[in-house]
A and B are shown apart, each in its own frame.
Chain A
Amino acid sequence: MKFVDEFRAPELITKAGEEIRRLADPNRHYRIMEVCGGHTHAIYRFGLKDLLPSNVELIHGPGCPVCVLPMGRIDDGLSLAAQPNFIFAAFGDMMRVPGTHGSPLEYKARGMDVRIVYSPADALKLARSNPGKHVMFFAIGFETTAPSTALTLVRAKAEGLHNFSVFCNHVTIIPAIRAILDSPDMRLDGFVGPGHVSTVIGCRPYDWIAKDEGKPVVVSGFEPLDILQSIVMLLRQLRKGEAKVENQYKRVVPWEGNRAALRAMAEVFELRPYFEWRGLGFISQSALKIRASYAEWDSEQRFSVPGVRVTDPKAAQCGEVLKGVLKPAQCKLFGRECTPEQPVGALMVSSEGSCAAYYNYEHRKPVTIASAAAI
């Protein structure tokens, strides 16, 4: 199929690289943030950095749900799960994320009933098949995942299933971008906007970044060529002195988003006054909590939560890396105490975390599309 072949064609990749070189003003240094962890993964996997001129720098954003979750929330979730007849259910990504006294997987090894699920609907199914136990789904994710959790709660309520609850850690991307733009040590020229979050929220929520902050945003797909094209589109705007929101990922992202998904979220969730993000601190109205009308299915309203706050291990510099102030390899623990096999910080756990991506693809330097195209 031609369409697919095009994406794989190295000559198009090379062409996009050339166009980026042509558009980038050699007297200017560009700092472009890719918001989504999926993009970070793709950028490292394909060695896209090698195709960019040295004055076009990619800064890795906060869009990795596992990475921005503070350790205290994991501790809180695990402490609830220590109750008798309790099942702790979470996505596989969460299983190796360290809490103060170990990861969910280590708790499982010590005898806690910890289950990996691939869908919140499957956590609900666990509750149906284990009527004598309480099933808590430890929910993480941005707007991509939050509608599915919401709809699962709608289903639980409709069924009157009372041995199920959600420990909600859903966060929203816009306040995180605002916090980054407000951060004094951060200077950015534009954003590669998240792909799958935008299938839900659409492109309008980014308008203020263009209008008020004067920074272009291009919502992007995940192929190497998608990302390079998005950088071309950003540089074209910057060259013309424009700042607008564009959609490079039209084949998947509708401009208006998914209204049914937004309705499901509005039915179940409301904004928390504030929420702690690893590396970014407390950000107001940046996370979702479950509405009082769903209190019975909210682990935090139903059980007493310790509300643990844990500072990250001192030597680990996850916060600086997360904000793009430090590169992964500049952290003192990188590749020594902290590796994907033995992660100290969450950025090393998820494949979308910049440390794991850097470790797997940059540190070990495999053959990349960029280097293959150059042959």
Chain B
Amino acid sequence: MCLAIPGKIVEMDSQNAYLAVVDVVGVRRKVDLGLLQDDPPVPGDWVLIHVGFAMSKISEADAVDQMQTLRMLGEAEAAMQEVRGYGLENQEQSEPDQRWKQ
């Protein structure tokens, strides 16, 4: 439950200003950006996601590193399961990039 999952902001939600679509190794889900309102991310930025909320902005290099950490900890699958579980709103969903498989 303390997983911090790296994702890239793809686009802002057209209906809710505080929501954005993020891409986590090929899986796209909506996350809440409300906790970053002091320094709001824009499409193209990388964030760390925790329980459906973006918690901090990070660099792309750190995002790659964080995914690697999850993989090393044996938690990459749990992280992807969590991301797939967000929202249940049938966002477009592609297969996760096989590079991250353990």
- Residues of A at the B interface (CB closer than 8 Å) are 1, 3-4, 7-8, 36-38, 41-42, 45-46, 65-66, 91-93, 116-122, 125, 140-141, 144-145, 147-148, 151, 154, 196, 199-200, 221-224, 251-252, 254, 258-261, 264, 350-352
Given contacts A42-B73, A199-B56, A223-B72, whether A259 and B1 have CB atoms under 8 Å apart is: no
Query: Residues of A contacting B17 with CB < 8 Å?
Result: none
Q: List 30 A-B contacts (CB under 8 A).
A: A3-B61, A8-B68, A38-B2, A42-B73, A45-B73, A66-B1, A92-B1, A117-B85, A119-B52, A119-B53, A120-B51, A121-B53, A121-B86, A122-B87, A122-B88, A125-B88, A199-B48, A199-B55, A199-B56, A222-B69, A222-B73, A251-B58, A252-B4, A252-B56, A252-B58, A252-B62, A252-B66, A254-B56, A258-B56, A260-B36
Given contacts A45-B74, A141-B1, whether A120 and B52 have CB atoms under 8 Å apart is: yes
Given contacts A91-B51, A351-B75, 4 further A-B contacts (CB under 8 A): A148-B35, A258-B55, A260-B36, A264-B34
In chain B, residues 33-69, which have Cβ atoms closer than 8 Å to a Cβ of chain A?
A: 34-38, 48, 50-53, 55-56, 58-59, 61-62, 64-66, 68-69
Q: Which residue from chain B places its CB closest to the CB of A121 in the assembled complex?
A: B52
Secondary structure of the A contact surface, majority rule: helix
Does residue B23 face the partner (Cβ distance < 8 Å to A)?
A: no
Could you tell me if B2 and A196 are in contact, using CB atoms closer than 8 angstroms?
yes
Query: Residues of A contacting B69 with CB < 8 Å?
Result: 7, 221-223
A1 to B64, CA, bound (A): 9
A42 to B73, CA, bound (A): 6
Query: Residues of B contacting A264 with CB < 8 Å?
Result: 34-35
Query: Residues of B contacting A46 with CB < 8 Å?
Result: 72
Query: Residues of B contacting A65 with CB < 8 Å?
Result: 1
A261 to B56, CA, bound (A): 10
A153 to B94, CA, bound (A): 32
Query: Residues of A contacting B34 with CB < 8 Å?
Result: 151, 154, 260, 264
Q: Which residue from chain B places its CB closest to the CB of A251 in the assembled complex?
A: B62
- When the two chains form the complex, which single residue of A42, A252, A259 contacts B38, counting CB atoms closer than 8 Å? A259
Question: Could you tell me how many residues of chain B have their Cβ less than 8 Å away from some Cβ of chain A?
Answer: 35
- When the two chains form the complex, which single residue of B38, B51, B64, B65 contacts A145, counting CB atoms closer than 8 Å? B51
Return the CB mask of B65-102 against A: 1 if under 8 Å, else 0: 11011001111000000110111100000000000000
Query: Residues of B contacting A352 with CB < 8 Å?
Result: 1-2
Q: How far is the CB of B90 from chain A (nearest CB, A)?
A: 13
A227 to B69, CA, bound (A): 12
A4 to B56, CA, bound (A): 20
Q: Which residue from chain B places its CB closest to the CB of A142 in the assembled complex?
A: B2
Q: How far is the CB of B31 from chain A (nearest CB, A)?
A: 8
A351 to B58, CA, bound (A): 26
A117 to B53, CA, bound (A): 13
A46 to B74, CA, bound (A): 11
Could you tell me if B68 and A261 are in contact, using CB atoms closer than 8 angstroms?
no
A-B pairs with the 10 shortest C-beta distances? A119-B52, A118-B85, A148-B53, A261-B35, A93-B1, A118-B82, A38-B2, A260-B38, A119-B51, A151-B34
- When the two chains form the complex, which single residue of B51, B58, B66, B73 contacts A148, counting CB atoms closer than 8 Å? B51
Of listed B4, B34, B64, residue having the most chain A CB within 10 A: B34
Of listed B35, B72, B88, residue having the most chain A CB within 10 A: B35
Could you tell me if A122 and B86 are in contact, using CB atoms closer than 8 angstroms?
yes
Q: Which residue from chain B places its CB closest to the CB of A46 in the assembled complex?
A: B72
Q: Which residue from chain A places its CB closest to the CB of B19 in the assembled complex?
A: A121
A92 to B65, CA, bound (A): 26
Query: Residues of A contacting B56 with CB < 8 Å?
Result: 199, 252, 254, 258
- When the two chains form the complex, which single residue of B64, B65, B73, B86 contacts A119, counting CB atoms closer than 8 Å? B86
A103 to B34, CA, bound (A): 33
A261 to B1, CA, bound (A): 18
Could you tell me if A196 and B52 are in contact, using CB atoms closer than 8 angstroms?
no
A45 to B69, CA, bound (A): 12
